[in-house]
Amino acid sequence: MVLLVLAAIETAVRLGMLNAALVPPPTTVAQRTFEIVASGVFLAPLGTTLYLLFVAYFAASLLAVILGLLMGRFVAMYNLFEPLVELLRPLPKPALLPPLILFLGLGDVMKLVVVGLAVFFPVLINTVQGVRGIDPVLINTARTFGCGRFAILLKVILPASLPLILAGMRVSLALGMILVVIAEMLAGTGGLGYLILDMQRSFRAQIMYAWLVILAVLGYALNAIFLALERRVIHWSAARSD
């Protein structure tokens, strides 16, 4: 299917039905992509983007899981944070870019924060749901074996809610990708998002598409890696994504 569409575009461009300056022939894009990859030029921008994505992703996920465990376990914590969460959660995170730029400038901190915000909420919501959905029998079992509160949290509640936490983290990974690209477009200095916009502005469509291809492959690869890890971690669960 993909090949068919590519072949159609290729033919259309070669026949002059599409403007080659706007839509370069896929073979050329493939060639440009290969050049970028083979020369190793892609490493630096990829590194910038992945650094922003991963730091924000893992930090935000960790915070979300911790807060989610507390909110799911303690009603007081839930009541305390729930209004704030419900206020911030539905807000489209790109809308926060202008105020964040105002507060934090154009540097990495701003990008990390906005990506982190996007990552945070799906993980948080799923963690709370996961914790609240645990059968009390499971927790009571641990209690009757003399497990303390902390041990129960670590050995029962965390693993039991892991399937939902990971489902949230998978959604967040895609959201994080989106936000990191947008943030780089608005205030970037070398990441993938910045390059795509930069190439477009300098009318280098071929290279712009080449970066898009790299971005697509990156997204696909990250998702595939995530699924593989998830399968290993929660192989016992019927709720895993595959």
- Say whether residue 142 binds other proteins (CB under 8 A): yes
Count CB neighbours of 123 within 10 A: 29
List 141, 189, 217, 221, residue binding other proteins (CB under 8 A): 141
Contacting other proteins within 33-62 (CB under 8 A) = none
Looking at beta carbons only, is 109 or 151 nearer to other proteins? Answer: 151
Q: Which is nearer to other proteins, 14 or 155 (CB)?
A: 155
Residues 157-186 binding other proteins (CB under 8 A) are 159-160, 162
Question: Beta-strand (E) ranges in the chain?
Answer: none
Number of H helices, E strands in the chain: 11, 0
Longest dimension (CA), the chain: 76
Q: CA-CA distances (angstroms) from residue 69 to 124, 143, 146? A: 9, 18, 21
**Total residues interacting with other proteins, rule: CB under 8 A:** 20
Q: In b/e form, how buried is each residue of 179-217, taking b as 16+ CB within 10 angstroms?
A: bbbbbbbbbbeebbbbbbbbbbeeebbbbbbbbbbbbee
- 200-239 residues near other proteins, rule: CB under 8 A: 234, 236-237
Q: How far is the CB of 230 from other proteins (least distance, A)?
A: 13
Q: What is the closest distance, in whole angstroms, from the C-beta atom of residue 197 to other proteins in the complex? A: 45
Nearer to other proteins, 106 or 138 (CB): 138
Of the two residues 14 and 149, which places its CB atom closer to other proteins in the complex?
149
153 makes contact with other proteins (CB under 8 A): no
**150 interacts with other proteins by CB under 8 A:** no
Least separation, in Å, of the C-beta of 158 and other proteins? 10
Alpha-carbon radius of gyration of the chain = 22
According to CB under 8 A, which residues from 111 to 140 bind other proteins?
Answer: 135, 137-138, 140
Written as one letter, the residue type at 225 is I
Q: Is the dihedral of CA 227, 231, 232, 238 positive or negative?
A: positive
> Taking Cα atoms as reference points, which of 213, 199, 197 lies closest to residue 26?
213
Secondary structure class of 190 (helix, strand, coil): coil
Contact residues toward other proteins (CB under 8 A) are 135, 137-138, 140-147, 151, 155-156, 159-160, 162, 234, 236-237
